Structure 1
Amino acid sequence: MAQTILHPAATRGHANHGWLNSYHTFSFANYHNPARMHFGALRVLNDDTVAGGKGFGAHPHNNMEIISIPLSGDLEHQDNMGNKAVIRQNDVQVMSAGTGVAHSEKNHSSTEQVKFLQIWLFPNEENVKPRYDQQTFRPEDRHNRLQQVLSPSPDDAGVWIQQDAWFHLGSLDAGFATEYQLKRPGNGVYAFVLEGDVTIDGQTLHRRDGFGIWETDKLQITADSNAELLLMEVPMEL
């Protein structure tokens, strides 16, 4: 019997710093909820809006897989590995922090907001050599299908990370139904609804709701309206 956990959008932690408006699905910074520390290897899911000309100054990370997915606007990245890039909608960026990396993220525009997801996963191996990657994905390749954007292997589709995890994005028309088959026994899936309404294994979900499901090998997904969906398959055991 599948196990599930529901996190309605309105139950997330929230911090509005003026320049940064952030919603936290899991405990982060000043939001601490012992019942919401992580979902398996998924440690952080932040839904961030950064004002024009603002951003996060250089700060360190280690032994964490950090994924950024811009939803609108442009995000400027710089790190001490020599990477400087602009990440836009339809891009996915990953940093394997490993032994340690310092980076900054700021709004590339001085006037327009940037909205992005900041996601952290625990790695399956610590103290690896830090690594940066980003890729651009065609939005038409996720229309009424699940587009793989992240995997554990450089030989598989999407950016790759130091964890047995797979991410998929879907842009689904109202009434469209599909199935997601888990890639690895013992994994679970955390679904995050970016826009619209979907039903997953009988659970109705709305914009920015989160839904975790594990002890199953597949999910049934139906779009109840035009919808945008992120599926994050992650190990449940750390």
Structure 2
Amino acid sequence: MIKQTPGRIYLADQHGFITTPQYSRCSVFSFADYADEQRPATGRLLAFNEETLAGGQRSSLPVWEDAYVVLLPLTGEIKYTSSGGQAAVVQVEEVEVRALPAGATLELANLFEEEPVSFLHIWLRAGSLAKASSAVFSYGFEQLENTLAEVVPAGTGTPVALPFSLSLGRFAGRHEATYRPAYPDSLFFCYVLAGAFEVEGRLLHAKDGLAVWETEEAELEALSNNALVVTLEVQA
């Protein structure tokens, strides 16, 4: 991989970190109590957070504009409640996408009293929503082996067609994958959950992120075993 397309690396040691007795949160972009003018939202992609909730704890988040919130558990399970009493429990090998209007409140709770749970919550601008809605997408870890598996497809799952898709992959060292965006003006964003990758000529370690624009395809190569990555294609 020798070519380089327009993009930006978000190094792990430059993310925003918030730690309280209830939770610890790592934010790639400015979010909630973490504000950095050098880390603004990228198009529709408003926030990308990796969070750990302590046993029996919860966190409450205001929804400041119409948004899709993607919840992806990494360990354990999360109870996910929004304004109006809509609640669900989402667990490992599931991804929940919830469409929430501005002014709503989102509460995330750890149902385990003793053990922490970790998860991603990703926020994307929705534009305009008539009402709240949700959808759950299931996958199996065997589907992720040495490939980028599309878990959340664009255009399905809620009354408003989703303007993004989400893929996951787990790779052995030196295995490669190519992602071809469905739309030429999409943002391609990837976040390394574990291991190391070379993505479009950039070296990424665990917790690093990369945004790439104006690309017909994005090439990934795992540089370690059990390397795990999540990718988003976000329409303009």
Q: Same fold (TM over 0.5)?
A: yes
Gaps of 5+ in 2: none
Q: 1:23 to 1:184 in 2, by over 3 A?
A: same
Residues 135-177 of structure 1, C-alpha deviations (whole Å, 9 max, x = no match): 22111111111111223322xxxx5565421110001111111
1:180 & 1:107 partners in 2: Cα distance? 34
1:133 match: 135
Task: Determine what percentage of the aligned residue pairs are the same residue.
Answer: 25
2-side partners of 1:142 and 1:49: how far apart? 23
In structure 2, relative to structure 1, the CA distance for the partners of 1:168 and 1:72 (3 Å cut) is: same
Gaps of 5+ in 1: none
Q: State whether residues 27 and 48 of structure 2, in contact with CA within 8 Å, keep that contact through their aligned partners in structure 1.
A: yes
Match in the other structure for 2:67: 64
SS in 2 for 1:72: coil
Distance in 2 (alpha carbons) for counterparts of 1:42 and 1:231: 12
Match of 1:143 among 145, 159, 165: 145
- Aligned residue in 1 for 2:14: 11
- Segment drifting more, 127-136 vs 138-147: 127-136
How far residue 188 of structure 1 moved from its aligned partner, in angstroms, is 1.6
| Distance in 1 between residues matched to 2:48 and 2:135, nearest whole Å | 19
Give me the TM-score of the superposition, normalised by structure 1.
0.90
Moved more, 6-15 or 163-172: 163-172
| Structure 2 equivalent of residue 230 of structure 1 | 230
Supply the distance in 1 between the matched residues of 2:103 and 2:186 (Cα, whole angstroms): 27
How many residues are aligned here?
231
In structure 1, give the amino acid aligned to 2:215. Answer: T
Distance of 2:140 and 2:209 partners within structure 1: 25
SS for the counterpart of 1:193 is strand
Map 1:167-182 to 2 at 5 A. Answer: 167-182=166-181
Note the C-alpha offset of 1:58: 7.7
| C-alpha RMSD of matched pairs (Å) | 1.9
**Deviation at residue 42 of structure 1 after TM alignment:** 0.6
